[in-house]
A and B are shown apart, each in its own frame.
Chain A
Amino acid sequence: MNIAPKQAGRAGVESKQSVAVCPICQGTNFSPAPNGRMSRRGLAPRCMSCKSLERDRAGRSLMEALRDRELFKTFKLLQFGNDRIVAKGWFRESETSVFGSIGAHNPMAIDRPNESFDCVVSSHVITKVEDHRAAVREIARLLSRRGLAFLSYPLPGLRTVTSDWGFPDPKQSGNFRILGEDFEPALVELASGTRIAAVKAIDPVTKDADLVYLMTKDFSWMRKLISLRLDARFLDAA
């Protein structure tokens, strides 16, 4: 097969995106995502340097905006997975639990005391566990009174009703389900005691938006969202 078009396409993509900068590694070269996937706007989404995708960069940009440098230095982080939504160096200490790897926490029942983490990051995890409700409850339980949790899952808001097939379908990237809009009220219920905001985070490279749920027991984080004028919607969890 002639590969000439492929080369031409790549060159074109790179030159067009030369001004875009990855907020994680400052990389400026981007390629199509696995399987040749392009962003919703048709741009090459994968940072060729740090391999980040739209959701990683959107999340990172949001957390960068919210980050209080001094305060974060006193925080303890629990991160599910190796994504780069936050940098470990921001925190006093951190624990990383890559779902499915040896020694990883079970997201549905984490062997840690209540309110033992100040920052919890769960990106694209709860759809991969058997009981996503338990996973949300655990995040809310582990979150300290001053902390902030970052929760995201694939394609939020794209469908109204959750579709749960009950097994990790390899054709669906190992997900048990795709969560629909109907999960939002459930989220409020499961994370009782926290305030939740659905925030539209923007990937500065592709400009694609990703919906992220921020959970907190400290209302000052919500105030910060307001003052930053982020596109946020409050899910009543009081």
Chain B
Amino acid sequence: MWILLFLLLFFGLLAAGMPIFLVLGMCASVLYFVSGQPIIGLAQNMIDQLNSTTLMALPLFVMAAAFMRRGGVAKALVDLCIAWLGPIKGSLGLVAVVSCALFAAISGSSVATALAMGTILLPAMLERGYPRSFALGVLGASGTIGVVIPPSLALILYGIVTEQSVPRLFLAGILPGLLQAAAFFVWVLYYARRKNFPAEPAMPMRERLRVTLWAMPAMAVPAVVLGGIYGGFMTVTESAAMAAVTSLFVSLVVYRGFRWPRVLDVIAEAIGSAAVIMLIIATALVFGHWMTGSGAPARLVQFAVAQDLGTWQFLLVMNILLLIIGCFLEVVGTLLLVMPILAPVLVPLGINPVHFGIIFTHNMEVGLVHPPVGLNLYVLSTISDAPIGEVIRGILPFLIILLMVLGLITYWPALTMWLPDLVFGK
């Protein structure tokens, strides 16, 4: 009876378009009230859940991304890629894939990547006569690489919710991210040849080296982050702060995309984007806390084990379920709703939570470009004035590639686990 009422409340509020943090907060309040716990405990729990140093990596990485996006870093990376890939047919498509992967290693957010690259490359591609649906498809799909390539906000959150090591998750994301980029690259190469897309004029070597040198400061950020964490010099949160400091310096001094007076504004904007996520975290963790106490995950574990599903069957069911949820909710919402329930099931079924983290985040990438509500689709449709149907048509081949990569990631654990096992041991 109570459960029915609760589900009604939960889905009713979601359907009404209530912000997710309020939906979870209201549900948690009702649960506290019904089970006779004082509501002040909920307030205490909410503020205590935010008291986590790992969580603070989030606003700091978002700040770094905001500096980078505003600071003219994207342009330097695009120029770098054009210098080296230019003479190949369909080079601007290839440039989109590679520079998105590079920018992803700096920013950690898919929408930010699609925005930063889309605003530069889309006009350039249209001017050179690429079909608009192809241009939109390659940009939207390449933007998703940012979800798994470190530093990834989604993986930080996954680490917090499932209590896994964030550095280990970061390493696990590298090879699947590169595989995805490589698969896109090959497809664009093939498609461009078939459709006879234009090439860019070759640059003299001297010019190439100059452009490469110019892009080097941008690459300092991933160097600081990865070197800092894996060299054992910094915690994840400290490396996020250093990424912010480095990117601020690079943007202000080297690329000069914005000036000193605007710094506070850009920071406020970045904290705004981070706050969207952190408010959800505060209520979602309270909700998850209650959920664990209620014994629902334990019953789910019993149920899952009793079904006698093989690991591969369970993973298949999970992928389908996540793809469906990914159609309606974005990355953070799905992660915080699903993972507290799902996390306890993984180990009894013989699934490594780190491996599952990559399956999960890759799944969410698919959701970002999946009709009907993929966020990247809307971002691209907005910046190009193209109808959403045209964006979907362009993204379809990439969607198929993404699903194939998802299959590989799911059923070939070594692809994900080899690198973290190599660095940290089993």
Query: Are A and B interaction partners?
Result: no
- B residues touching A (Cβ–Cβ < 8 Å)? none
